[in-house]
Structure 1
Amino acid sequence: MLSMICIAAMATSFGHGDDALSVVENRELNYHRDNLRKLYHDYFVTSGVDLIISPTYNGVAPLGINHGAAGAYYWGYTTLWNILDLPTVVLPTGLALDPKIDIQKTDPPAPRSIIEKIEADKYLPELLVDAPIAVQLTGRRYSDEEVVAVSKVIDDIVNNLS
């Protein structure tokens, strides 16, 4: 089992996040971030997209330390929205994992990195029985109130179904 210090070190070095940057390098990264934000904003506007519903993780939940794992190593499903500075709400679907239903019917693709291998190896449905299935709802920049309002409507619908 990895120690918490090791996990913290891994988290901060993900993608070389612990490398020191010069002022020029920092400004260049800010430029790329801002350009990415503009591209996404333009896509939202020209395509008429108001909200995106997406997964929050590659499974229902990462196994915790009590199962011999150290939590989530991959956060690609959520960090994109952080970089883009888009409001996001995670909400339950009213569904839960059932190992009899949630089975992999084909061989999974080969992991592309050690992180993917770690995450794929942690998907053990028999240890996650009845874990709630959630999604995330992401809206346009500065539309926080709208995202929360729609998430409440979805939550009301889910609660009325159960």
Structure 2
Amino acid sequence: MQTATAVAQMRQERDKFRCAFLENWNAQDVDVVIGPCFVGPACAHESAFYWTYTSLWNFVDYPGVVFPTPIKAEVGEKYAADYTPLSDDCKHVKQLWDKGNFEGAPITLQLNARKYHDNQLLGALALVKDVLGLP
């Protein structure tokens, strides 16, 4: 268990990071960020090992929304026969793919906006939905 002083120090470090993140965001004049939310298509429950795609946004307390794309995993999709994993993580992702049943699972993306800009986020989502032809 952490002491109250240790918790306060961790919060101070977190808040410094959040301030630096905001300064960087402002310097780039960014409205929203679109990016992946997982290493591949949507996965089965309890099998999402790579949650770091979304954890940054939780840490900086920025709102986000995950949405499917029309791109879906097809039957029989396999890694190239000569594929060599670059790391243990790459090997693990391949094992997940080989074991998993991803047929029909959509590639999902996330949109994120700065804190307190939820309306702007949802407006951007509406534009993306129209472009992708989502319901």
- Which fold has the larger relative contact order, with Cα–Cα distance below 8 Å and residues 6 or more apart in sequence? 2
Which segments of 5 or more consecutive residues in structure 1 lack a partner in the other structure? 1-19, 65-69
Larger helix proportion of the pair: 1
Look up the match of 1:92. 68
User: Per the alignment, do residues 62 and 23 of structure 1 end up closer, same or farther by CA in structure 2, a change over 3 Å counting?
Assistant: same
Larger strand proportion of the pair: 2
| TM-score normalised by length of structure 1 | 0.71
Q: Among the aligned pairs, what percent are the same residue?
A: 26
- For residues 65-110 of structure 1, the C-alpha deviation after alignment (integer angstroms, 9 at most, x for no partner) is xxxxx42233111111001000101112211113566745742212
Q: Number of residues paired by the alignment? A: 133
- How far, CA to CA, are the matches of 2:100 and 2:9 in structure 1? 46
Q: Give yes or no for contact 1:95–1:132 (8 Å, CA) kept in 2.
A: yes
Match of 1:111 among 88, 107, 116: 88
- How far, CA to CA, are the matches of 1:99 and 1:140 in structure 2? 38
- For residues 20-78 of structure 1, the C-alpha deviation after alignment (integer angstroms, 9 at most, x for no partner) is 211111111101111111111101101112211111111212344xxxxx422331111
Aligned pair 1:83/2:59, yes or no?
Answer: yes
- How far, CA to CA, are the matches of 1:120 and 1:148 in structure 2? 34
Look up the match of 2:16. 35
Look up the match of 1:151. 125
CA RMSD of aligned residues (A): 2.4
Which segments of 5 or more consecutive residues in structure 2 lack a partner in the other structure? none
| TM-score normalised by length of structure 2 | 0.84
Q: Secondary structure at the match of 1:128?
A: coil
